[in-house]
Amino acid sequence: MTKTILEGERQIPVYAECDILVVGGGAAGHSAAVAAARAGNKNVILMERYGYMGGDVTGGYVIMVPRLSFFNKQYVRGLQEEWFTRMANIPGAVLGPTADEIGSTDAAKVNAWKNIWDTFSTGATQPQHLVRSVYFEPNQLKIEMDKMLLEHKDFIHVMCHSWGTRPIMDGDTIKGVIFESKEGRKAVLAKIVIDATGDGDIFRQTGCPYFGLADKLTRCATTALVWRVGGCDWAAFSEWKKVNPQAANALRENFSKICGFRASPLPGPTNDVCWINNWHAERDCATVKDATETEMETRDTMRDALEYLKEVCPMGFRNAFIYDIAPQLGTRCSYRLDGEYVITSNDFAFPKEQEDVIAWHSTICFINDNCPVEIPYRAILPKKTENLLCPGRHISADELGIDYVNLIPQCVGTGQAAGVAAAVAVADGSTAHGVDIKKVQDILARDQDVPLPRNQYTDPSYMQNVIDHEYGLYTDLAKKAREEAGFLGKVRQFASNQGEIEDADPQSLKSKSEEVTMGTVKSAPVVTDDPHS
């Protein structure tokens, strides 16, 4: 539609003033608020559109956090690991190899975890070992995330049911945010604003550059509505798949056909409840049409999908029922920051030392077998706009690189770093661009349990582990990148978003049958049970 109306000027009452305003209480925003308070700031506001914290984690039912370790070292710690240690003694709240078990090549232990996806390594060139991946109960995490905020209630003011809608600008400097609620339109003024909305709701209106939807064949260009099945027997279902591989393949294909989009049952923290993840292709979670269709089309197929599971595998689903439906849309990616640094596939194919590293994360990238990469502060720092930080799933990355760095661990890690950076900037009277990054790094590594490379407070054995395992570049894909000029050129084209690449789906590159040529990869996407593919 091209019709418009004119909205007249109006006075907006100021609801509150603060040092640090965090817009969005998801994995990134919640972490930013907690980290800022723990770094010494006493005037933080956390604004969230729903009535609970966690976003996709607790509301979208993304109930598995993957690949926190690399061989026998856990690189993703800090607030991300704190979630699970806090819930460890709650029955049925968490499931996954413990920090003491990661890296174990004990065949019996690895086999014991084979029914739970992503808890063991899948690389063909290395001995199988256990990986720190954690499945969790979202409602228990909702409670725990509230408790983390309440522990800092004197420093963090929480505003639920408040939707940040527009930045307040003074030239190129952000001064606060206008929000909508049942109380009407009001404003919060702040020295530093953290846009943790996931879709760049704030930074897109400041005048800073940003990107659109990710490559249409990636995980990031899909939406979802997760639902859960109760009364199942996941162990029996897993054994059925092992004994009947042809039937299991047929189930995988037909289940998606019945749904009308790719979908797959996945394990949860308890044997009697599983979740159904789904991928609605070429959907943008920031558009009304795509968001509405995703929700309604998924719900429309749930009964048929469950009946199919009952019919083909009664031993696993005979007594199954729809347990619940995620209260919010599963959002993977829409708009992305075009920040002071743009993460690309090159960051995984060719190790880089980032002087402003704020997170050192093992990821789900198959190029370097999930080896930790350095995420720089500049990747959450917008161009042009001052005193704004943008952690989370809209981090600055190109249309392929975003697939590897916008999962829950990276949201938590960049959010935690943003909170510390904001606290340091306010304390020093500095700006987001001028913050003392060395001070930020030291607080993260020394005080907040965040391993960082080349930092005096991080055990050197973590870097040695990466070196000993060749930065993960023992994979066939990485070897081709180093050895074949044509393939090297292709990887660089991925990173710079230049050249004509047909069907350049990163997941398709897993296929051993792919044909690599000078500039083109022709290969169909590989469909697996991987919840992150």
CA distance linking residue 227 with residue 145, whole number of Å: 22
The alpha carbon dihedral of 46, 275, 530, 400 has a sign of negative
Residue 231 covered by a domain: yes
Residue 11 covered by a domain: no
DSSP 8-state secondary structure symbol assigned to residue 443: I
Q: What is the 3-state secondary structure (H, E, C) of 296-324?
A: HHHHHHHHHHHHHHHHHCHHHHCCCEEEE
Q: Which pLDDT value is given to residue 519?
A: 26
User: What three-state secondary structure class fits 472?
Assistant: helix
Q: Which pLDDT value is given to residue 38?
A: 98
Q: How confident is the model at residue 221 (pLDDT cuts 50, 70, 90)?
A: confident
Q: Tell me: the pLDDT tens digits for 257-271?
A: 999 999 999 999 999
DSSP 8-state secondary structure symbol assigned to residue 6: P
Residue 391 covered by a domain: no
Q: Which of 29-43, 115-129, 188-202 has the lowest mean pLDDT?
A: 115-129
Non-local (6+) Cβ contacts of 191 within 8 A are 18, 19, 20, 387, 425, 426
What is the average per-residue pLDDT within 389-399? 96
Residue 234 covered by a domain: yes
- pLDDT: is 514 or 358 the higher one? 358
Look at residue 47 and tell me whether its pLDDT is greater than 70.
Answer: yes
Its pTM stands at: 0.91
Q: Which pLDDT value is given to residue 175?
A: 98
What is the average per-residue pLDDT within 315-342? 96
Strands 173-181 and 184-195: antiparallel
What is the average per-residue pLDDT within 323-346? 95
What is the average per-residue pLDDT within 404-418? 97
Q: What do you get for the CA distance between the two ends of the chain, in Å?
A: 36
What's the CATH number where 325 sits?
3.30.70
**Biggest CA pair distance of the chain:** 70
CA distance linking residue 54 with residue 79, whole number of Å: 13
Look at residue 394 and tell me whether its pLDDT is greater than 60.
Answer: yes
Tally of structural domains, the chain: 1
What is the average per-residue pLDDT within 306-326? 97
Tokens of 247: 């039937």
Residue 306 covered by a domain: yes
Q: How many CA atoms lie within 13 A of 224 on its CB side?
A: 28
Q: How many CA atoms lie within 13 A of 23 on its CB side?
A: 29
What is the average per-residue pLDDT within 464-480? 91
Q: Tell me: the pLDDT tens digits for 283-308?
A: 999 999 999 999 999 999 999 999 99
Average pLDDT, the chain: 90
Residue 521 covered by a domain: no
Q: Which pLDDT value is given to residue 337?
A: 97
Percent of the chain at pLDDT > 90 equals: 82
Residue 108 covered by a domain: no
Non-local (6+) Cβ contacts of 294 within 8 A are 223, 224, 225, 280, 283, 285, 329, 330
What is the domain extent for residue 324? 219-331
Residue 264 covered by a domain: yes
